[in-house]
Amino acid sequence: MLKGHCSRLWLLCCAAPLLLLLALPAFVDELESSNPYQLMQQLAQRTFERINREQQQITHDVNYLRVIVRQELMPFVHIRYTGALILGPLFNTLDAEQQQRYFQALEAYLEQSYAEVLALYRQYDYHLEPEKPFTNRTVVTVRLHLLRKALTPLRIDFKWRQNSKNQQWQLYDILVEGISLIATKQQEWTALLRRLGFEAFIEQLHEDARQSVTPQEG
């Protein structure tokens, strides 16, 4: 019961702030991926342009949000690192073929989940924290405050990790008022994997990913 509550709370809290990441370009090199602070700023600026430009198509078919997520967000998400963190020690019990299938299922699951987040979008103002020194650091948290009318500002921490191979910064976790996506899914999925076994676990992820985009109004 508590796990389900945390998962719903994370989704509802993240609804608007996640949109600030969803203006990612189809061509990653267009943005400043060597600086996580500049990257966040550019993503936030581009988001509203993309949403406004394609609002009519989104209104006609809310599942079009999957296309936006697939083309714009997923190129910046560190699927392998995120997936390994979620499963923790259980990840090392999977062989190479199972790991690959897990990453594919995870990517589909995130695409559907972020599309539902997009469907909850309401246009808010926001404030990004000033850039801090990050030389010699491989993990950086960029804090954003979502300024909601007549409501308390929402604190969102975006976790970025520098890829050791290409030196680019990639998103791997989001914390909303201290609630981590990775920590929440770790509790749910490790229990599911232990209880159902790998094949049933993967099928469950794919089944969840196939669901039509249906925002959970809070």
CA-based nearest residue to 170, from 160, 180, 178: 160
The larger pLDDT score, comparing residue 176 to residue 207, is at 207
In a domain, 200, yes or no: yes
Give the mean pLDDT of the chain.
81
In a domain, 148, yes or no: yes
In a domain, 82, yes or no: yes
In a domain, 202, yes or no: yes
Cα 191 from Cα 3, distance rounded (Å): 11
In a domain, 216, yes or no: no
In a domain, 16, yes or no: yes
pLDDT digits (tens, 9 = 90+) for 79-116: 999 999 999 999 999 999 999 999 999 999 988 877 77
Residues 161, 78: contact at Cβ < 8 Å?
yes
Question: Total domain count for the chain?
Answer: 1
Q: How far is CA 97 from the centre of its chain?
A: 24
Cα 90 from Cα 190, distance rounded (Å): 7
* Structure tokens belonging to residue 114: 């972020």
Pick the range with the lowest mean pLDDT from 12-21, 91-100, 161-170, 184-193.
12-21
In a domain, 104, yes or no: yes
Going by the DSSP 8-state scheme, the letter that residue 129 receives in this structure is P
- Residue 152: count of CB within 10 angstroms of its CB: 9
CB contact set of 32 (below 8 Å; sequence gap of 6+):
38, 39, 42
CA-based nearest residue to 75, from 28, 138, 142, 40: 28
pLDDT digits (tens, 9 = 90+) for 18-43: 544 443 344 455 676 789 999 988 87
Cα 71 from Cα 127, distance rounded (Å): 26
Query: For residue 71, what are the domain limits?
Result: 2-209
Whether the predicted pLDDT of 45 surpasses 80: no
CATH number of the domain where residue 23 is located: 3.10.450.710
- Residue 99: count of CB within 10 angstroms of its CB: 16
pLDDT digits (tens, 9 = 90+) for 195-204: 999 999 999 9
In a domain, 214, yes or no: no
